[in-house]
Amino acid sequence: MTDPEIASPSAFPEPSVLATHSAATVRPVHDEFHGDLLEVSMGPQHPSTHGVFRMVVTLDGEVIVKLKPVFGYLHRNHEKLGENTTYLGSMPYTDRLDYLCSMTNNWAYALAVEKLAGQPVPERAEYVRVILAEMTRLVNHMCLVGFLFNDLGTSFTPLLYAFREREKFIDLFESLSGSRMMCNFQRFGGCRANPSPEWLGAVSKLVDGFPKFLDEYEQLLTGNEILLARTQGVGCLSPELAVQAGITGPMLRASGVGYDIRKADGYGIYPRFDFRVPIGAHGDTYDRYMMRILEMRESVKILQQALRDIPAGPVMDPKSRLRNFRPKPGEAYGRIEGPKGEIGFYLISDGSPNPLRYRVRAPSFVNLTVIEDMCLGRTVADSVVILGSVDIVLGEVDR
Amino acid sequence: MENLEQIRDRLLARFPGAEVTLINNPGPSAQHSLLLGLAQAREIALFLRDDPALRLDYCSNATGIDWPAKEFTDVVRTPVKDAAGATLRILEEKTKRVTPGFLEVVYHLYSMEKKHGPVVIRLRTGNRTDQVTVPSLTPVWRSCDFQEREIFDLYGVNFEGHHDLRRILMWDGFKDHPMRKDYVAPDDYEWEPTPHGAVLEKAKAHYPAPPPATVP
């Protein structure tokens, strides 16, 4: 294996202390017992890569010495589409970024546009947004746990239970927004429809029954011997590297960094709710699994408080404009804590109906930065589990 | 957190001779930004990351913007008067002025330790054709790694000091930069049985006109 070429001397002065890159900690050994390195291309059509994603893995025996992620197979230049359509026209497209969490994508985009235009949001709409976002978090996390167990080889049993429960949630999404997954529900200055008391009652009933399902799910999974053997100590991510590489969401908190945008920014009405941010100790795959379970329990708490406190009233600001919407020239970056991490939208307006720049900061995309660092020194079978615990959706990575 | 003017003043005191300009954001979000000169950008970024009062240890978002050359027309009106002082006609003199285009890279910085932000910094290239090199900030914040590769891929900004500058979303053999404003999509025509509208125009360009005998 050759080292990467040495960078040509830079015209810009080099500062004294620079962050290190993913230097391989495992060196190939060339002696009579070790053969050549083997390069394996995992993907793009591989059941464990969660979509069209490829990992070029270099192996020394069974140990990974180099791993390069390759993606872009699903690239449709989402940002260019956003620049060529109106502000409202981009809203349905954001559903297709992370297609498991369309409600949080909608909210992040609506938040960015509201910042850009200085648009207030009515009280009830803020509550509806929190309820929908936390429901989305439950759906995403239980599906992730199911998929993670699929990667571990439990042929579909945990995923089946997760999907059985998810079905109840997306039925409620459908009855509110008209669509199970592509909800297209948030608008600039509120939401599209006002939820009825019956709908809120149905959510309340579902949420109150959720801890029972979660206990059952955990009883089946958390102490599972296969899970413990395959995930504890696997794919460790140090807190320094996690911060340096911009990791967000449950993956960051599993490494022991208590950074949650719901707490740090306090966007929407999150400061009103009493909830805790779970933090891991080791940053391994098992902690990343536990983060999801603990966050689901906290989400249930937020949901119960929001459903208890939700006021009556309109869900749409009467002064908001959707058609012929032209924000004043300026720019804004709005971000929220999505289920996978920080999802942000950066918009520049020049006063025309289309944004001059429409940028999506996708959490899965940035979280993939450290996939090589976590997999070095492990086996191919571990890399599958580690990738599963990162929680990527390729619709968002490739955009 | 101190405001952006204080940060700028501190940077100018710490790095004499550095170019740090405050760019005002007229919109309601009031997220103003600092434009850094390229020569000392990386040192300033490192200072922003390690300064104990700021500790901007987390670069959330890095993205490119394309600003094509803009043409303005300045009109100067001079009235032509006769001897009595009455206006005969107004002479209009039009001059065209072109502001050169450039590419811009924007970084949104937050602090995970102090839980504040954002501080927005920008870098600008000289033009859009040959002076498109800016220093990479990946050595300072590794979260820029894939995002700078994306900017290189879609905008054609060359990041000096990036350890692995390759295309990331488009394939390796691709030539152009699709996020630029003047990008023209390739003429990849696909046959359709009943073309209409823009597709019909495209179809006409791809096939010879039918022989006159077949046209009723």
* Each residue's pLDDT tens digit, B32-71: 899 998 888 888 999 998 888 888 999 999 999 998 888 8
Q: Which residues of B touch A348 (CB under 8 A)?
A: 65
**Nearest CA to A148 among A102, A101, A212, A217?**
A217
Q: Which residues of A touch B58 (CB under 8 A)?
A: 243, 246, 259
Distance between CA atoms of residues A158 and A161, nearest Å: 5
CA distance A180 to chain B (A): 29
Q: Are strands A357-361 and B87-99 parallel, antiparallel or unpaired?
A: unpaired
Per-residue model confidence as pLDDT tens digits over B69-125:
888 888 888 888 887 778 778 888 888 888 888 899 999 999 988 888 789 999 999
Name which of B29, B145, B147 is nearest A116 (Cβ-Cβ): B29
Q: Which residues of A touch B43 (CB under 8 A)?
A: 13, 15
* B63 inside 8 A of chain A by CB: yes
What distance, in Å, lies between the first and last C-alpha atoms of chain A? 33
- A27, exposed or middle or buried, with CB in 10 Å at 0-12, 13-18, 19+? exposed
Q: What is the structure's pLDDT at A299?
A: 93
- The residues near A238 (Cβ < 8 Å, ≥ 6 apart) are A255, A283
Distance between CA atoms of residues A256 and A304, nearest Å: 27
Q: Is A73 helix (H, G, I), strand (E, B) or coil?
A: coil
Q: What is the structure's pLDDT at A18?
A: 44
CA distance B54 to chain A (A): 15
Q: What is the structure's pLDDT at B107?
A: 93
Whole-structure pTM value = 0.85
Instruction: Decide if pLDDT at B164 tops 90.
Output: no
- A342 contacts B142? CB cut-off 8 A: no
Would you write out chain A's pLDDT as a tens digit for each of its 399 residues?
444 444 444 444 454 444 444 444 455 555 666 667 888 888 788 777 777 888 889 888 888 888 889 988 889 999 999 999 999 999 999 999 988 889 999 999 999 999 999 888 999 999 999 999 999 999 999 989 998 888 888 878 888 999 999 999 999 999 999 898 899 999 998 898 999 999 999 999 999 999 999 998 888 888 888 888 888 888 888 998 999 899 999 999 999 898 999 988 888 899 999 999 999 888 889 999 999 999 999 999 999 999 999 998 899 888 887 788 888 899 999 999 999 999 999 999 988 899 999 999 999 999 999 998 898 888 888 888 998 898 888 889 988
- The residues near B138 (Cβ < 8 Å, ≥ 6 apart) are A21, B144, B145, B148, B159, B161, B162, B163
Q: What is the structure's pLDDT at A212?
A: 92
CA distance B89 to chain A (A): 36
Q: Which residues of A touch B115 (CB under 8 A)?
A: 259, 263-264
- A284, exposed or middle or buried, with CB in 10 Å at 0-12, 13-18, 19+? buried
- A86, exposed or middle or buried, with CB in 10 Å at 0-12, 13-18, 19+? middle
Q: Which residues of B touch A369 (CB under 8 A)?
A: 142-143, 145-146
Instruction: Decide if pLDDT at B189 tops 80.
Output: no
User: Chain B: residue nearest A16 by CA?
Assistant: B43
- Where helices occur in A157-196 by DSSP H, the ranges are 157-177
- B60 contacts A17? CB cut-off 8 A: no
- A346 contacts B63? CB cut-off 8 A: yes
CA distance A165 to chain B (A): 33
For every residue of A77-131, which 3-state class applies, written as one string? CHHHHHHCCCCHHHHHHHHCCCCCCHHHHHHHHHHHHHHHHCCCCCHHHHHHHHH
Q: Would you say the C-alpha torsion A306, A312, A314, A317 has a positive or negative sign?
A: negative
Distance between CA atoms of residues B19 and B39, nearest Å: 9
Buried b (16+ CB within 10 A) or exposed e, A244-259: bbbbbbbbbbbbbbeb
Under 8 Å between Cβ of A365 and A22 = no
DSSP state of A176: H
Per-residue model confidence as pLDDT tens digits over B114-158:
888 789 999 999 888 888 899 999 999 999 999 999 999 999 999
Residue B95 tokens read as 């001059």
- A75 contacts B169? CB cut-off 8 A: yes
**Nearest CA to A69 among B85, B140, B133, B166?**
B166
- A19 contacts B142? CB cut-off 8 A: yes
Using only C-alpha atoms, chain A has a radius of gyration, in whole angstroms, of 22
- A301, exposed or middle or buried, with CB in 10 Å at 0-12, 13-18, 19+? middle
DSSP state of B61: E
Q: What is the structure's pLDDT at B82?
A: 81
Angle at B203 between CA B202 and CA B208, to 5 degrees: 120
